[in-house]
Amino acid sequence: MKFFLDTANLADIKYWNDMGLVDGVTTNPSLIAKEGGSFKSIIRDICAIVEGPVSVEATSVDTQGILEEARTYAQWSDNIVVKVPFIKEGVSALPVLRDEGIHTNTTLVFSANQALIAMKAGTSYVSPFIGRLDDIGHYGMEIVSEINDIKRNYSFKTEVIVASIRHSLHVLESARLGADIATIPASVLEKMFKHPLTDNGLERFLADWEAVEK
Ligand code: G3P
């Protein structure tokens, strides 16, 4: 499973990328706003660090506006993927962008039927928002399983990005379901390293090693 980092924080991206764990990055308007600074320079800086796909969200809500934004962002770097909201105007933009060779990530997806439509319209990636479904009492991971089934049944080329990940179990379940990609906040990736037995075990090995004659 590929790991994308779900952040626009350059320090976090550099840190985890240097460890070889970052296959791509996803951003959204909220993540960009959190960092402050110019949108374009943040995205260009991310693209200079990361070799893999970097998702940048279009904020227009009409097809023409989405197309224009997408064409602009696609010129910023070869690895730009344009995030398109799952609205009819966004879906209409998907086949046009596909035919122009611009990669898209359909975002704000909350059902398998929405994902099916996005896949048929030619999206490169589809992002089901798992945590936000859990928040309202739905089992978010269920739709990842449904989308994987649909993708397999019809051999869609779209890659599934499990998004809105809130904790390490979401990552584990994504991997067990065979999701293509999980986009992970840096705080969750940090927690995935933690196990008290690892810390205790290392402490004991190092203490015992002290007693060995060298
Ligand atoms: O990539 C989209 C995702 O970041 C949304 O996450 O935590 O705002 O639901 P969240």
The CATH fold assigned to 2-211 is TIM Barrel (3.20.20)
Residue 40 annotated in active site: no
Report the pLDDT averaged over residues 190-213. 97
pLDDT digits (tens, 9 = 90+) for 130-177: 999 999 999 999 999 999 999 999 999 999 999 999 999 999 999 999
Residue 131 Cβ < 6 Å to ligand 1: yes
Residue 28 Cβ < 6 Å to ligand 1: yes
- pLDDT band with cut points at 50, 70 and 90 for residue 79: very high
Taking the C-alpha atoms of residue 151 and residue 1, their distance in angstroms, rounded to an integer, is 16
Determine the residue of 164, 165, 166, 181 to mutate for testing ligand 1's pocket, defined as the one with the most ligand atoms within 8 A of the Cβ atom.
164
Active-site residue, from 2, 34, 83, 194: 83
CA of 97 to the centre of ligand 1 (A): 24
Give the residue, by CA position, lying nearest to ligand 1 atom 10: 164
Tell which residue, 107, 41, 46, 53, has the closest CA to residue 78.
Answer: 53
pLDDT digits (tens, 9 = 90+) for 19-49: 999 999 999 999 999 999 999 999 999 999 9
Residue 132 Cβ < 6 Å to ligand 1: yes
Specify the residue for token string 């059902």: 111
Name the CA dihedral angle for 41, 47, 49, 51, rounded to a multiple of 10 degrees.
Answer: 180
Is residue 174 within 8 A of residue 151, CB to CB? The reply is no
SS3 90: helix
pLDDT digits (tens, 9 = 90+) for 95-107: 999 999 999 999 9
Determine the residue of 129, 136, 187 to mutate for testing ligand 1's pocket, defined as the one with the most ligand atoms within 8 A of the Cβ atom.
129
Hey, where are the domains in the chain?
A: 2-211
Ligand 1 atom closest to the Cα of residue 135 is 9
How is residue 201 written in tokens? 């075990």
Residues 6+ apart with CB under 8 A from 111: 143
DSSP state, residue 129 = B
Specify the residue for token string 């990328």: 17
